[in-house]
Amino acid sequence: MLLASTAADRSLAAFPAGSNGEFNLPPELATVIRSGQGCRLKTADGREFLDFSMGWGSVLIGHADPRIARAVASQLPFGSNFAYVNESSLALAEELIRLSPACEAVRFCASGTEATMYCLRLARAFTGRRRVLRFEGAYHGAHDVGVTSLFPHQPPAFPTADPSSAGITAHHEGGVLVAPFNDLETTAEIIERYASELAAVIVEPLQRCLPPAAGFLAGLREVCDANDVLLAFDEVVTGFRLAYGGAQEKYGVVPDLVAYGKALGGGMPIGAFGGRADIMELVREDRLGAEDDYVWTASTLGGNPLSCSAALACLEILRGDGVYEQLYALGDYLRQQMRHMLKSHGVTAQVLGDGPLAQIALVASEPHDYRTSQHKTPKLARKIMLELFRRGVFLNPMGTKLYLSLAHTSAACDEFCGLLSDTLADVLVDD
Ligand SMILES: Cc1ncc(COP(=O)(O)O)c(C=O)c1O
């Protein structure tokens, strides 16, 4: 066997496609990160990247922020996991209950995937119904329902689900119903038709980078109430990012169940789920064996004091004066500059997003759901993303979101837009 030489070669040998599942890169772009600081990354081979992925949005404060590092370091000598309620997890639970109108009680886990999975399990147990409804193109984590109809290439007619991954069974026998985001009429018709078997509707309140149409979330709330169906908000992305109180605060709609993750942990592994006290009661272990609707939840690392200390420090930073004004101003600036660059190169595109999030869609008119947001020229989109990566922007070349953080500045956005402009000049000549 040949001895692998560079870190990238070793990564290609150790990981399928040289990746831990984050995104797919051609082998010549494989890289291995050594460190992060603010909005920049350094790789093992000495390259520097401007980071617009930010740990898939988990590092909203910025890499290696000393306040988060101090919080973690000061907990470390006192233990890293007890798999039981500790002072940090208790303080964090109390803060989540304070900031979220939906959460009367919470539990911690270690990822957003677990958090949405538990919301759905709780909803099925509470209602005694087996089906759940989700929106086409939304992502709710790597579990079966989370990826069903995530990126159907030939989308079936609503409400039929597309597995979007091999090895998935959630869609069998209509276990997952699928509706178009922002289409309240079609969604309401599906909810009404299946109400007697429908446990919950789960929604990303801002789906990927698509904002909810005026009245869509409030309308969902009403239709769910009218049909006795639970409403779950997946706030894994929107939580603490669109507002301190997340989508619940921003859009003024209160779900029955809510899932958190990503930004909450300040870059440390975390997930949390919570909701109405009568629903959350089902997880009480003193009901195990005694009640048919007892819901199993367990997470070895959920609520560990390192993640919870980081989260408490992160929330304290986010409560600071002007934080959300800064995140929104930066996001507005980035999206406006991106629009300007795309237009000046004659690219037919829309720049989506809100708050510190942005995404390019190569479409002529403003999209409102999965189907209308699909690139008209996917090969060109992929080329643009890979070329940006090659030029030193760390981003997900599958073309999903660009994540900003408190460590980004308008100068970093200008640098990104300069690279975007160079990229467009190159790829459009080649095209
Ligand atoms: C909206 C949404 N929900 C859930 C998840 C899953 O979170 P995790 O990767 O922490 O399991 C993600 C991850 O990208 C997400 O974007």
CA of 140 to the centre of ligand 1 (A): 6
Residue nearest to atom 13 of ligand 1 (CA): 141
Q: How confident is the model at residue 2 (pLDDT cuts 50, 70, 90)?
A: low
State the pLDDT at residue 85: 98
Check the CA dihedral 80-86-89-95 and report its sign: negative
Q: Which of 19-33, 43-57, 58-72 has the lowest mean pLDDT?
A: 19-33
Angle at 209 between CA 203 and CA 214, to 5 degrees: 65
State the pLDDT at residue 1: 53
Q: Stretch 407-420: mean pLDDT, rounded?
A: 98
State pLDDT tens for residues 105-126. 999 999 999 999 999 999 999 9
Q: Stretch 236-257: mean pLDDT, rounded?
A: 98
State pLDDT tens for residues 205-227. 999 999 999 999 999 999 999 99
- Look at residue 430 and tell me whether its pLDDT is greater than 70: no
Contact between residue 203 and residue 235 where contact means Cβ atoms under 8 Å apart:
no
- Identity of the residue numbered 207: Q
What are the structure tokens assigned to 295, written together? 């819901």
- The Cα–Cα gap between 248 and 256 comes to 11
Query: Which residues, judged by CB distance below 6 Å to any ligand atom, belong to the binding site of ligand 1?
Result: 56, 111-113, 116, 139-141, 204, 234, 236-237, 261
CA of 297 to the centre of ligand 1 (A): 18
State the pLDDT at residue 357: 98
State the pLDDT at residue 173: 85
- Look at residue 10 and tell me whether its pLDDT is greater than 90: yes
CA of 275 to the centre of ligand 1 (A): 18
CA of 218 to the centre of ligand 1 (A): 23
**pTM for the full model?**
0.97
Q: Where in the chain is the domain with CATH 3.90.1150.10?
A: 7-64+322-430
State the pLDDT at residue 399: 74
- The Cα–Cα gap between 49 and 39 comes to 9
Q: Residue 43 forms beta bridges with which residues? A: 33
SS3 177: strand
Residue nearest to atom 8 of ligand 1 (CA): 112
State pLDDT tens for residues 11-20. 999 999 999 8
Residue nearest to atom 5 of ligand 1 (CA): 141
Of 143, 86, 95, the closest CA to residue 119 belongs to 143
- Look at residue 174 and tell me whether its pLDDT is greater than 90: no
Counting ligand 1 atoms within 8 A of each CB, the residue from 236, 273, 400 with the most, and so the one to mutate, is: 236
State the pLDDT at residue 204: 98
State the pLDDT at residue 116: 98
Burial 263-301 (b: 16+ CB within 10 A, else e): bbbbbbbbbbbbbbeebbbbbeeeeeeeeeebbebebeb
Supply the mean pLDDT for the chain: 96
Angle at 263 between CA 259 and CA 268, to 5 degrees: 100
State the pLDDT at residue 5: 85
Q: How confident is the model at residue 352 (pLDDT cuts 50, 70, 90)?
A: very high
State the pLDDT at residue 200: 98
Q: Which of 47-51, 184-188, 230-234, 288-292 has the lowest mean pLDDT?
A: 288-292
- Nearest atom in ligand 1 to the alpha carbon of residue 261 is 10
For the chain, state the CA radius of gyration: 22
In CATH, the number for domain 66-318 is: 3.40.640.10
Of 3.40.50.2300, 3.40.50.2000, 3.20.20.10, 3.90.1150.10, the CATH number of 7-64+322-430 is 3.90.1150.10
State the pLDDT at residue 172: 83
Residues taking part in catalysis:
139, 234, 262
State the pLDDT at residue 24: 81
Q: Stretch 278-287: mean pLDDT, rounded?
A: 95
Contact between residue 16 and residue 25 where contact means Cβ atoms under 8 Å apart:
no
Contact between residue 403 and residue 50 where contact means Cβ atoms under 8 Å apart:
no
Counting ligand 1 atoms within 8 A of each CB, the residue from 109, 113, 148, 396 with the most, and so the one to mutate, is: 113
- Nearest atom in ligand 1 to the alpha carbon of residue 113 is 11
State the pLDDT at residue 403: 98
Collect all residues with Cβ–Cβ distance below 8 Å to 100 and sequence separation of at least 6.
245, 246, 248, 258, 274
Q: How confident is the model at residue 4 (pLDDT cuts 50, 70, 90)?
A: low
State pLDDT tens for residues 75-108. 999 999 999 999 999 999 999 999 999 999 999 9
- The Cα–Cα gap between 299 and 301 comes to 5
State the pLDDT at residue 22: 77
Counting ligand 1 atoms within 8 A of each CB, the residue from 22, 119, 135, 140 with the most, and so the one to mutate, is: 140
Q: Where in the chain is the domain with CATH 3.40.640.10?
A: 66-318
Only one residue has tokens 């958090």, namely 115
